[in-house]
Amino acid sequence: MFSLQDAGRAAVDRHERTSLDPDDWQALRKQGHQMLDDMFDHLQSLGTKPVWQHPPSSARALLDAPLPTKASDLAEIHAIFRENILPYGSGNIHPGFMGWVQGGGTVTGMLAEMLAGGLNANLGGRDHMPIEVERQIIRWTREIFSFPETAGGIFLTGASQANFVAVQIARCRKLGRDVRVTGLSDESRLVAYASSEVHGCVPRAFEMSGIGSDQLRRIPVNHLGQIDVDALEQTILRDRQEGFVPFLVIGSAGTVNTGAVDDLAALRRIADGYDLHFHVDGALGALGILSPDLAPLFAGIDSCDSLAFDFHKWGQVPYDAGFLLVRDSEWQRQTFASDAAYLSRATTGLAGGDWWPCDYGPDLSRGFRALKTWFTLKTHGTEALGNAMSANCRLARALAGRIEREPTLKLLAPVALNIVCFAYVGPNGTAPASVNSHIVERLHAEGRVAPSLTHLNGQPAIRAAIVNHRTRQADIDALVHSVLTIGSQQDLPQC
Ligand SMILES: Cc1ncc(COP(=O)(O)O)c(C=O)c1O
Protein backbone atom coordinates (compact mmCIF):
# COMPACT_ATOMS: atom_id res chain seq x y z
CA MET A 1 0.00 0.00 0.00
CA PHE A 2 1.23 3.50 -0.84
CA SER A 3 1.84 5.41 2.41
CA LEU A 4 2.38 9.00 3.42
CA GLN A 5 5.95 8.03 4.10
CA ASP A 6 6.32 6.97 0.48
CA ALA A 7 4.78 10.25 -0.62
CA GLY A 8 7.32 12.08 1.50
CA ARG A 9 10.13 10.10 -0.07
CA ALA A 10 8.82 10.97 -3.52
CA ALA A 11 8.81 14.63 -2.54
CA VAL A 12 12.43 14.39 -1.42
CA ASP A 13 13.30 12.70 -4.72
CA ARG A 14 11.77 15.54 -6.60
CA HIS A 15 13.58 18.01 -4.44
CA GLU A 16 16.87 16.35 -5.31
CA ARG A 17 15.73 16.28 -8.97
CA THR A 18 16.36 12.60 -9.42
CA SER A 19 12.82 12.16 -10.63
CA LEU A 20 12.16 13.04 -14.25
CA ASP A 21 8.54 13.94 -13.54
CA PRO A 22 7.59 17.61 -13.90
CA ASP A 23 7.51 20.00 -10.98
CA ASP A 24 4.60 21.86 -12.46
CA TRP A 25 1.98 19.36 -13.62
CA GLN A 26 -0.42 22.18 -14.46
CA ALA A 27 2.00 23.65 -17.00
CA LEU A 28 2.66 20.18 -18.40
CA ARG A 29 -1.07 19.60 -18.83
CA LYS A 30 -1.41 22.83 -20.80
CA GLN A 31 1.56 22.02 -23.01
CA GLY A 32 0.40 18.41 -23.48
CA HIS A 33 -3.04 19.53 -24.60
CA GLN A 34 -1.43 21.97 -27.00
CA MET A 35 0.66 19.18 -28.51
CA LEU A 36 -2.39 17.01 -28.92
CA ASP A 37 -4.41 19.82 -30.51
CA ASP A 38 -1.58 20.58 -32.92
CA MET A 39 -1.53 16.97 -34.02
CA PHE A 40 -5.30 16.88 -34.49
CA ASP A 41 -5.03 20.08 -36.58
CA HIS A 42 -2.34 18.50 -38.68
CA LEU A 43 -4.35 15.33 -39.32
CA GLN A 44 -7.53 17.26 -40.04
CA SER A 45 -5.87 19.40 -42.68
CA LEU A 46 -3.67 16.76 -44.33
CA GLY A 47 -5.26 17.14 -47.76
CA THR A 48 -4.24 20.81 -47.97
CA LYS A 49 -0.57 19.98 -47.55
CA PRO A 50 1.99 18.28 -49.77
CA VAL A 51 2.31 14.52 -49.45
CA TRP A 52 6.02 14.94 -49.11
CA GLN A 53 8.45 17.82 -49.28
CA HIS A 54 12.18 17.87 -49.26
CA PRO A 55 13.43 18.59 -45.73
CA PRO A 56 15.38 21.88 -45.80
CA SER A 57 19.01 21.87 -44.74
CA SER A 58 18.10 24.10 -41.80
CA ALA A 59 15.87 21.32 -40.43
CA ARG A 60 18.56 18.70 -40.85
CA ALA A 61 21.10 21.03 -39.22
CA LEU A 62 18.90 21.31 -36.14
CA LEU A 63 19.24 17.57 -35.77
CA ASP A 64 22.97 17.76 -35.90
CA ALA A 65 23.09 19.33 -32.47
CA PRO A 66 25.42 18.49 -29.59
CA LEU A 67 24.29 15.90 -27.03
CA PRO A 68 22.04 17.78 -24.59
CA THR A 69 23.56 17.55 -21.13
CA LYS A 70 21.17 20.07 -19.60
CA ALA A 71 17.38 20.29 -19.56
CA SER A 72 15.39 22.22 -22.17
CA ASP A 73 11.86 23.49 -22.08
CA LEU A 74 9.25 21.05 -23.46
CA ALA A 75 7.48 23.85 -25.35
CA GLU A 76 10.73 24.73 -27.14
CA ILE A 77 11.35 21.11 -28.10
CA HIS A 78 7.81 20.81 -29.36
CA ALA A 79 8.30 23.97 -31.44
CA ILE A 80 11.33 22.33 -33.09
CA PHE A 81 9.21 19.26 -33.82
CA ARG A 82 6.33 21.36 -35.20
CA GLU A 83 8.51 23.43 -37.52
CA ASN A 84 11.20 20.97 -38.55
CA ILE A 85 9.93 17.41 -38.24
CA LEU A 86 6.15 17.35 -38.58
CA PRO A 87 5.98 18.92 -42.08
CA TYR A 88 8.71 16.63 -43.41
CA GLY A 89 7.39 13.15 -42.67
CA SER A 90 7.38 10.49 -45.39
CA GLY A 91 3.72 11.25 -46.08
CA ASN A 92 2.09 7.84 -45.64
CA ILE A 93 -0.73 9.39 -43.63
CA HIS A 94 -1.63 11.60 -46.63
CA PRO A 95 -4.48 10.62 -49.00
CA GLY A 96 -2.18 11.10 -51.99
CA PHE A 97 0.41 8.61 -50.71
CA MET A 98 0.50 5.42 -52.79
CA GLY A 99 4.11 4.42 -52.48
CA TRP A 100 5.44 1.07 -51.36
CA VAL A 101 2.80 -0.56 -49.10
CA GLN A 102 2.20 1.61 -46.08
CA GLY A 103 -0.80 2.11 -43.84
CA GLY A 104 -2.32 5.51 -43.08
CA GLY A 105 -2.72 5.06 -39.32
CA THR A 106 -5.74 5.93 -37.21
CA VAL A 107 -6.32 8.79 -34.82
CA THR A 108 -7.54 6.40 -32.17
CA GLY A 109 -4.41 4.32 -32.63
CA MET A 110 -2.38 7.47 -32.09
CA LEU A 111 -4.21 8.23 -28.85
CA ALA A 112 -3.68 4.65 -27.71
CA GLU A 113 0.06 5.04 -28.38
CA MET A 114 0.07 7.92 -25.94
CA LEU A 115 -1.74 5.85 -23.31
CA ALA A 116 0.63 2.92 -23.90
CA GLY A 117 3.60 5.26 -23.53
CA GLY A 118 2.21 6.56 -20.27
CA LEU A 119 1.75 3.06 -18.94
CA ASN A 120 5.18 2.07 -20.24
CA ALA A 121 4.17 -1.58 -20.09
CA ASN A 122 6.70 -4.30 -20.83
CA LEU A 123 4.90 -7.22 -22.44
CA GLY A 124 7.68 -9.79 -22.08
CA GLY A 125 5.76 -11.54 -19.31
CA ARG A 126 4.32 -11.35 -15.77
CA ASP A 127 0.73 -11.03 -14.63
CA HIS A 128 -0.84 -7.76 -15.76
CA MET A 129 -3.70 -6.57 -17.91
CA PRO A 130 -1.68 -5.33 -20.92
CA ILE A 131 -0.77 -8.99 -21.55
CA GLU A 132 -4.49 -9.78 -21.52
CA VAL A 133 -5.00 -7.18 -24.24
CA GLU A 134 -2.47 -8.99 -26.44
CA ARG A 135 -4.22 -12.29 -25.69
CA GLN A 136 -7.49 -10.70 -26.74
CA ILE A 137 -5.93 -9.77 -30.09
CA ILE A 138 -4.67 -13.33 -30.50
CA ARG A 139 -8.20 -14.64 -29.96
CA TRP A 140 -9.59 -12.11 -32.46
CA THR A 141 -7.00 -13.02 -35.08
CA ARG A 142 -7.87 -16.70 -34.59
CA GLU A 143 -11.45 -15.76 -35.28
CA ILE A 144 -10.63 -13.59 -38.31
CA PHE A 145 -8.65 -16.38 -39.96
CA SER A 146 -10.72 -19.31 -38.62
CA PHE A 147 -7.77 -20.81 -36.78
CA PRO A 148 -8.32 -23.46 -34.08
CA GLU A 149 -8.28 -22.92 -30.30
CA THR A 150 -4.75 -24.34 -30.17
CA ALA A 151 -3.46 -21.42 -32.20
CA GLY A 152 -1.14 -18.85 -30.69
CA GLY A 153 0.22 -15.59 -31.93
CA ILE A 154 2.55 -12.77 -31.14
CA PHE A 155 3.12 -9.12 -32.01
CA LEU A 156 6.43 -8.42 -33.69
CA THR A 157 7.84 -5.33 -35.38
CA GLY A 158 6.56 -6.29 -38.81
CA ALA A 159 6.12 -9.06 -41.34
CA SER A 160 9.89 -9.22 -41.93
CA GLN A 161 10.31 -10.43 -38.35
CA ALA A 162 7.16 -12.54 -38.49
CA ASN A 163 8.43 -14.37 -41.58
CA PHE A 164 11.80 -14.88 -39.91
CA VAL A 165 10.18 -16.29 -36.77
CA ALA A 166 8.05 -18.60 -38.92
CA VAL A 167 11.19 -19.99 -40.58
CA GLN A 168 12.63 -20.69 -37.13
CA ILE A 169 9.44 -22.47 -36.07
CA ALA A 170 9.35 -24.56 -39.25
CA ARG A 171 13.02 -25.52 -38.77
CA CYS A 172 12.31 -26.67 -35.20
CA ARG A 173 9.27 -28.63 -36.30
CA LYS A 174 11.33 -30.49 -38.89
CA LEU A 175 14.52 -31.12 -36.95
CA GLY A 176 13.25 -31.09 -33.37
CA ARG A 177 13.91 -28.73 -30.51
CA ASP A 178 17.55 -29.88 -30.18
CA VAL A 179 18.50 -27.98 -33.31
CA ARG A 180 18.38 -24.88 -31.10
CA VAL A 181 21.41 -26.25 -29.28
CA THR A 182 23.23 -28.28 -31.91
CA GLY A 183 22.64 -25.95 -34.85
CA LEU A 184 22.33 -27.19 -38.41
CA SER A 185 24.54 -30.10 -39.37
CA ASP A 186 25.89 -30.81 -42.86
CA GLU A 187 23.31 -33.58 -43.06
CA SER A 188 20.36 -31.24 -42.45
CA ARG A 189 20.16 -30.23 -46.13
CA LEU A 190 16.96 -28.26 -45.50
CA VAL A 191 15.25 -26.65 -48.49
CA ALA A 192 12.16 -24.47 -48.74
CA TYR A 193 9.97 -23.04 -51.49
CA ALA A 194 8.33 -19.75 -52.38
CA SER A 195 7.47 -17.98 -55.60
CA SER A 196 9.92 -15.80 -57.51
CA GLU A 197 7.73 -12.86 -56.41
CA VAL A 198 8.25 -13.45 -52.70
CA HIS A 199 9.23 -10.41 -50.63
CA GLY A 200 12.95 -9.86 -50.06
CA CYS A 201 12.60 -10.33 -46.32
CA VAL A 202 11.96 -14.05 -46.90
CA PRO A 203 15.35 -14.89 -48.45
CA ARG A 204 16.84 -12.64 -45.79
CA ALA A 205 15.12 -14.76 -43.13
CA PHE A 206 16.96 -17.76 -44.56
CA GLU A 207 20.22 -15.84 -44.42
CA MET A 208 19.63 -14.83 -40.81
CA SER A 209 18.59 -18.34 -39.79
CA GLY A 210 21.85 -19.82 -41.06
CA ILE A 211 20.01 -22.03 -43.56
CA GLY A 212 21.10 -19.75 -46.38
CA SER A 213 19.01 -18.11 -49.09
CA ASP A 214 20.27 -20.59 -51.73
CA GLN A 215 18.17 -23.15 -49.88
CA LEU A 216 15.03 -21.14 -50.67
CA ARG A 217 13.95 -22.31 -54.11
CA ARG A 218 12.28 -19.50 -56.04
CA ILE A 219 9.51 -21.08 -58.16
CA PRO A 220 8.28 -19.32 -61.33
CA VAL A 221 4.85 -17.66 -61.38
CA ASN A 222 1.94 -17.96 -63.80
CA HIS A 223 0.44 -15.09 -65.80
CA LEU A 224 -1.45 -13.92 -62.68
CA GLY A 225 1.74 -13.69 -60.64
CA GLN A 226 0.83 -16.80 -58.58
CA ILE A 227 3.27 -19.56 -57.77
CA ASP A 228 3.25 -22.26 -60.48
CA VAL A 229 2.03 -25.23 -58.47
CA ASP A 230 3.19 -27.87 -60.98
CA ALA A 231 6.67 -26.40 -61.11
CA LEU A 232 6.69 -26.35 -57.31
CA GLU A 233 5.85 -30.03 -57.08
CA GLN A 234 8.46 -30.99 -59.67
CA THR A 235 11.11 -29.05 -57.79
CA ILE A 236 10.20 -30.76 -54.51
CA LEU A 237 10.43 -34.18 -56.16
CA ARG A 238 13.81 -33.35 -57.69
CA ASP A 239 15.12 -32.07 -54.37
CA ARG A 240 14.03 -35.23 -52.61
CA GLN A 241 15.72 -37.39 -55.22
CA GLU A 242 18.90 -35.41 -54.69
CA GLY A 243 18.83 -35.98 -50.94
CA PHE A 244 17.61 -32.56 -49.83
CA VAL A 245 15.08 -32.27 -47.01
CA PRO A 246 12.11 -30.12 -48.01
CA PHE A 247 10.64 -28.58 -44.83
CA LEU A 248 8.70 -25.44 -45.69
CA VAL A 249 6.55 -23.90 -48.39
CA ILE A 250 5.72 -20.20 -48.26
CA GLY A 251 2.68 -18.80 -50.02
CA SER A 252 2.00 -15.13 -50.62
CA ALA A 253 -1.34 -13.55 -49.78
CA GLY A 254 -0.53 -10.44 -51.79
CA THR A 255 2.87 -10.32 -53.48
CA VAL A 256 4.77 -7.15 -52.87
CA ASN A 257 5.06 -6.04 -56.49
CA THR A 258 1.61 -6.73 -57.86
CA GLY A 259 -0.59 -7.99 -54.99
CA ALA A 260 -1.05 -11.49 -56.45
CA VAL A 261 -2.49 -14.11 -54.09
CA ASP A 262 -1.14 -17.65 -54.45
CA ASP A 263 -3.49 -20.63 -54.65
CA LEU A 264 -3.34 -21.29 -50.92
CA ALA A 265 -5.55 -24.38 -50.95
CA ALA A 266 -3.23 -26.01 -53.51
CA LEU A 267 -0.21 -25.14 -51.35
CA ARG A 268 -1.89 -26.81 -48.36
CA ARG A 269 -2.33 -30.00 -50.39
CA ILE A 270 1.31 -29.95 -51.45
CA ALA A 271 2.45 -29.28 -47.88
CA ASP A 272 0.42 -32.28 -46.71
CA GLY A 273 1.75 -34.47 -49.49
CA TYR A 274 5.41 -33.75 -48.73
CA ASP A 275 5.31 -33.11 -44.99
CA LEU A 276 6.08 -29.41 -45.18
CA HIS A 277 5.26 -26.57 -42.83
CA PHE A 278 2.94 -24.24 -44.76
CA HIS A 279 3.57 -20.59 -44.01
CA VAL A 280 1.78 -17.63 -45.62
CA ASP A 281 3.26 -14.18 -45.97
CA GLY A 282 0.12 -12.08 -45.76
CA ALA A 283 1.91 -8.86 -44.87
CA LEU A 284 -0.03 -6.68 -47.23
CA GLY A 285 -3.10 -8.69 -48.18
CA ALA A 286 -4.23 -11.13 -45.49
CA LEU A 287 -6.40 -8.68 -43.58
CA GLY A 288 -8.37 -8.26 -46.81
CA ILE A 289 -10.33 -11.23 -45.49
CA LEU A 290 -12.24 -8.66 -43.42
CA SER A 291 -13.92 -7.46 -46.60
CA PRO A 292 -16.67 -9.86 -47.72
CA ASP A 293 -15.99 -9.13 -51.39
CA LEU A 294 -12.24 -9.77 -51.05
CA ALA A 295 -12.45 -12.76 -48.68
CA PRO A 296 -12.90 -15.40 -51.46
CA LEU A 297 -9.45 -14.46 -52.81
CA PHE A 298 -7.92 -15.85 -49.63
CA ALA A 299 -9.57 -19.29 -49.75
CA GLY A 300 -7.32 -21.75 -47.95
CA ILE A 301 -5.65 -19.20 -45.68
CA ASP A 302 -7.40 -20.82 -42.72
CA SER A 303 -5.43 -24.01 -43.41
CA CYS A 304 -1.91 -22.64 -43.17
CA ASP A 305 0.41 -23.53 -40.30
CA SER A 306 1.53 -19.95 -39.73
CA LEU A 307 0.57 -16.57 -41.09
CA ALA A 308 2.53 -13.34 -41.03
CA PHE A 309 0.61 -10.11 -41.48
CA ASP A 310 0.79 -6.46 -40.58
CA PHE A 311 -1.82 -4.53 -38.67
CA HIS A 312 0.24 -1.47 -39.67
CA LYS A 313 -0.52 -1.89 -43.37
CA TRP A 314 -4.15 -2.57 -44.32
CA GLY A 315 -5.16 -2.74 -40.66
CA GLN A 316 -4.30 0.99 -40.42
CA VAL A 317 -2.82 0.61 -36.93
CA PRO A 318 0.04 3.12 -36.42
CA TYR A 319 3.54 1.67 -36.87
CA ASP A 320 4.70 -0.79 -35.86
CA ALA A 321 2.32 -3.70 -35.42
CA GLY A 322 3.41 -6.88 -37.20
CA PHE A 323 1.84 -10.17 -36.19
CA LEU A 324 2.47 -13.90 -36.48
CA LEU A 325 -0.39 -16.34 -36.04
CA VAL A 326 0.66 -19.97 -35.45
CA ARG A 327 -1.65 -22.98 -35.74
CA ASP A 328 -0.29 -24.59 -32.58
CA SER A 329 1.15 -22.33 -29.90
CA GLU A 330 3.21 -25.28 -28.65
CA TRP A 331 5.38 -24.95 -31.78
CA GLN A 332 6.21 -21.44 -30.61
CA ARG A 333 7.18 -22.70 -27.15
CA GLN A 334 9.34 -25.42 -28.62
CA THR A 335 11.18 -22.82 -30.66
CA PHE A 336 11.63 -20.08 -28.08
CA ALA A 337 10.93 -21.01 -24.46
CA SER A 338 13.92 -21.30 -22.15
CA ASP A 339 14.62 -21.29 -18.43
CA ALA A 340 16.37 -18.35 -16.95
CA ALA A 341 16.80 -17.90 -13.20
CA TYR A 342 16.06 -14.20 -13.41
CA LEU A 343 12.72 -14.97 -15.11
CA SER A 344 11.51 -17.46 -12.47
CA ARG A 345 7.75 -17.88 -12.49
CA ALA A 346 5.55 -17.84 -9.42
CA THR A 347 2.17 -19.46 -9.06
CA THR A 348 0.61 -16.21 -7.86
CA GLY A 349 1.46 -12.52 -7.77
CA LEU A 350 3.23 -10.31 -10.26
CA ALA A 351 5.61 -13.06 -11.37
CA GLY A 352 2.63 -15.33 -12.07
CA GLY A 353 0.47 -15.47 -15.15
CA ASP A 354 0.21 -18.44 -17.46
CA TRP A 355 1.28 -16.78 -20.71
CA TRP A 356 4.62 -15.08 -20.93
CA PRO A 357 5.14 -13.83 -24.48
CA CYS A 358 8.92 -14.19 -24.12
CA ASP A 359 8.32 -17.97 -24.37
CA TYR A 360 6.56 -17.58 -27.71
CA GLY A 361 8.85 -15.32 -29.69
CA PRO A 362 12.37 -13.91 -29.81
CA ASP A 363 11.88 -10.76 -27.69
CA LEU A 364 12.04 -10.36 -23.94
CA SER A 365 11.24 -6.68 -23.52
CA ARG A 366 8.28 -5.84 -25.70
CA GLY A 367 6.15 -2.73 -26.07
CA PHE A 368 2.39 -2.51 -25.88
CA ARG A 369 1.61 -2.79 -29.63
CA ALA A 370 -1.57 -4.58 -28.70
CA LEU A 371 -3.17 -1.44 -27.23
CA LYS A 372 -3.21 0.65 -30.43
CA THR A 373 -4.47 -2.43 -32.28
CA TRP A 374 -7.19 -3.04 -29.68
CA PHE A 375 -8.25 0.63 -29.82
CA THR A 376 -8.32 0.63 -33.61
CA LEU A 377 -10.35 -2.58 -33.80
CA LYS A 378 -12.74 -1.53 -31.02
CA THR A 379 -13.33 2.04 -32.16
CA HIS A 380 -13.79 1.24 -35.85
CA GLY A 381 -14.89 -2.37 -35.92
CA THR A 382 -13.78 -4.88 -38.53
CA GLU A 383 -16.59 -3.90 -40.93
CA ALA A 384 -15.30 -0.37 -41.37
CA LEU A 385 -11.76 -1.66 -41.86
CA GLY A 386 -12.99 -4.18 -44.44
CA ASN A 387 -14.99 -1.46 -46.22
CA ALA A 388 -11.89 0.73 -46.44
CA MET A 389 -10.00 -2.18 -48.04
CA SER A 390 -12.80 -2.78 -50.54
CA ALA A 391 -12.75 0.92 -51.38
CA ASN A 392 -8.98 0.77 -51.97
CA CYS A 393 -9.48 -2.15 -54.36
CA ARG A 394 -12.28 -0.36 -56.20
CA LEU A 395 -9.96 2.61 -56.69
CA ALA A 396 -7.23 0.26 -57.92
CA ARG A 397 -9.59 -1.32 -60.46
CA ALA A 398 -10.79 2.11 -61.59
CA LEU A 399 -7.19 3.21 -62.02
CA ALA A 400 -6.40 0.08 -64.04
CA GLY A 401 -9.43 0.74 -66.27
CA ARG A 402 -8.39 4.33 -66.82
CA ILE A 403 -4.84 3.26 -67.70
CA GLU A 404 -6.17 0.80 -70.26
CA ARG A 405 -8.17 3.57 -71.88
CA GLU A 406 -5.22 5.98 -72.06
CA PRO A 407 -3.16 5.34 -75.21
CA THR A 408 0.03 6.71 -73.66
CA LEU A 409 -0.16 4.48 -70.58
CA LYS A 410 0.26 0.73 -70.24
CA LEU A 411 -0.95 -1.57 -67.49
CA LEU A 412 1.94 -3.89 -66.64
CA ALA A 413 0.32 -6.50 -64.39
CA PRO A 414 -3.14 -7.84 -63.54
CA VAL A 415 -4.73 -6.10 -60.55
CA ALA A 416 -5.72 -8.65 -57.92
CA LEU A 417 -5.99 -6.37 -54.90
CA ASN A 418 -4.93 -2.77 -54.36
CA ILE A 419 -1.68 -2.51 -56.34
CA VAL A 420 -1.48 -1.10 -59.85
CA CYS A 421 1.75 -1.24 -61.86
CA PHE A 422 1.89 0.77 -65.04
CA ALA A 423 4.16 2.74 -67.32
CA TYR A 424 4.06 5.87 -69.40
CA VAL A 425 4.82 4.64 -72.93
CA GLY A 426 4.27 7.84 -74.92
CA PRO A 427 1.97 8.53 -77.90
CA ASN A 428 3.52 5.88 -80.14
CA GLY A 429 4.64 3.53 -77.43
CA THR A 430 8.17 4.81 -78.00
CA ALA A 431 8.94 6.47 -74.68
CA PRO A 432 12.07 4.97 -73.12
CA ALA A 433 11.18 2.91 -70.03
CA SER A 434 13.56 5.06 -67.99
CA VAL A 435 11.15 7.97 -68.30
CA ASN A 436 9.08 6.31 -65.58
CA SER A 437 11.76 6.71 -62.92
CA HIS A 438 11.91 10.37 -63.82
CA ILE A 439 8.12 10.70 -63.62
CA VAL A 440 8.05 9.18 -60.14
CA GLU A 441 10.81 11.50 -58.93
CA ARG A 442 8.96 14.50 -60.33
CA LEU A 443 5.70 13.38 -58.68
CA HIS A 444 7.45 13.18 -55.33
CA ALA A 445 8.92 16.64 -55.79
CA GLU A 446 5.54 18.12 -56.79
CA GLY A 447 3.97 16.65 -53.65
CA ARG A 448 0.39 16.03 -54.80
CA VAL A 449 0.63 12.23 -55.08
CA ALA A 450 3.40 9.79 -54.22
CA PRO A 451 3.49 6.39 -55.94
CA SER A 452 6.73 4.43 -55.88
CA LEU A 453 8.91 2.85 -58.52
CA THR A 454 9.44 -0.85 -59.01
CA HIS A 455 10.83 -3.05 -61.76
CA LEU A 456 8.79 -5.68 -63.54
CA ASN A 457 10.65 -7.98 -65.91
CA GLY A 458 13.58 -5.63 -65.62
CA GLN A 459 11.56 -2.58 -66.73
CA PRO A 460 10.84 0.41 -64.47
CA ALA A 461 7.17 0.58 -63.48
CA ILE A 462 5.13 3.17 -61.64
CA ARG A 463 3.52 1.35 -58.72
CA ALA A 464 0.44 2.70 -56.96
CA ALA A 465 -0.25 0.72 -53.80
CA ILE A 466 -3.55 2.08 -52.52
CA VAL A 467 -3.52 1.26 -48.83
CA ASN A 468 -4.62 4.46 -47.12
CA HIS A 469 -8.24 4.70 -45.92
CA ARG A 470 -8.11 8.43 -46.78
CA THR A 471 -7.35 7.97 -50.50
CA ARG A 472 -10.19 9.03 -52.82
CA GLN A 473 -10.97 9.09 -56.55
CA ALA A 474 -9.65 12.69 -56.71
CA ASP A 475 -6.23 11.40 -55.67
CA ILE A 476 -6.31 8.73 -58.38
CA ASP A 477 -7.36 11.35 -60.95
CA ALA A 478 -4.51 13.57 -59.80
CA LEU A 479 -2.07 10.67 -60.23
CA VAL A 480 -3.16 9.97 -63.80
CA HIS A 481 -3.27 13.66 -64.69
CA SER A 482 0.24 14.31 -63.32
CA VAL A 483 1.76 11.22 -64.98
CA LEU A 484 0.28 12.25 -68.34
CA THR A 485 1.43 15.83 -67.93
CA ILE A 486 4.97 15.01 -66.85
CA GLY A 487 5.21 12.25 -69.45
CA SER A 488 4.11 14.57 -72.26
CA GLN A 489 6.75 17.11 -71.25
CA GLN A 490 9.57 14.66 -71.80
CA ASP A 491 11.72 14.86 -74.87
CA LEU A 492 10.56 11.66 -76.49
CA PRO A 493 11.97 10.11 -79.66
CA GLN A 494 9.68 10.85 -82.66
CA CYS A 495 8.36 8.14 -84.95
C1 LIG B 1 4.49 -9.11 -49.13
C2 LIG B 1 5.33 -8.46 -48.08
N3 LIG B 1 5.99 -9.23 -47.18
C4 LIG B 1 6.73 -8.71 -46.21
C5 LIG B 1 6.87 -7.35 -46.07
C6 LIG B 1 7.72 -6.80 -44.98
O7 LIG B 1 6.87 -6.27 -44.00
P8 LIG B 1 7.39 -5.26 -42.89
O9 LIG B 1 7.78 -4.03 -43.66
O10 LIG B 1 6.23 -5.05 -42.00
O11 LIG B 1 8.54 -5.88 -42.22
C12 LIG B 1 6.22 -6.50 -46.97
C13 LIG B 1 6.36 -5.06 -46.89
O14 LIG B 1 5.83 -4.30 -47.65
C15 LIG B 1 5.42 -7.07 -47.99
O16 LIG B 1 4.76 -6.32 -48.86
The domains located in the chain, with CATH, are 122-367 (3.40.640.10)
Q: Does residue 427 contact residue 414 with C-beta atoms inside 8 Å? A: no
Q: Flag whether pLDDT at 494 surpasses 60.
A: no
- Please list, in sequence order, all residues whose beta carbon lies within 8 angstroms of the beta carbon of residue 72, skipping any fewer than 6 positions away: none
Its pTM stands at 0.95
- 312 CA closest ligand 1 atom index: 10
Element (H or E) spanning 378, and its range? helix 369-405
DSSP designation for 372: H
Q: Flag whether pLDDT at 384 surpasses 70.
A: yes
SS3 label, residue 163? helix
pLDDT (0 to 100) of residue 187? 81
Average pLDDT over residues 195-219: 97
Confidence of residue 495 (pLDDT cuts 50, 70, 90): very low
Average pLDDT over residues 459-485: 97
Nearest residue CA, atom 7 of ligand 1?
159
Confidence of residue 186 (pLDDT cuts 50, 70, 90): confident
Ligand 1 centre and the CA of 492: distance in Å? 36
Report d(CA 289, CA 342) in Å as an integer: 42
Q: Flag whether pLDDT at 332 surpasses 70.
A: yes
Neighbours of 444 (CB within 10 A): 21
- pLDDT > 70: percent of the chain: 96
| Cα radius of gyration rounded to whole Å, the chain | 25
pLDDT (0 to 100) of residue 7? 54
pLDDT (0 to 100) of residue 17? 73
Confidence of residue 289 (pLDDT cuts 50, 70, 90): very high
Average pLDDT, the chain: 95
Neighbours of 457 (CB within 10 A): 7
Give residue 283's identity as a one-letter amino acid code: A
pLDDT (0 to 100) of residue 164? 98
Output 449-452 pairs: Cβ under 8 A, ≥24 positions apart. 449/51, 449/96, 449/97, 449/98, 449/475, 449/478, 449/479, 449/482, 450/51, 450/52, 450/91, 450/94, 450/96, 450/97, 450/98, 450/99, 451/98, 451/99, 451/479, 452/98, 452/99, 452/100
Q: Flag whether pLDDT at 5 surpasses 70.
A: no
- 198 CA closest ligand 1 atom index: 1
- 285 CA closest ligand 1 atom index: 1
pLDDT (0 to 100) of residue 16? 66
Does the beta carbon of 201 sit less than 6 angstroms from any atom of ligand 1? yes
CA 381 to chain centre: 20
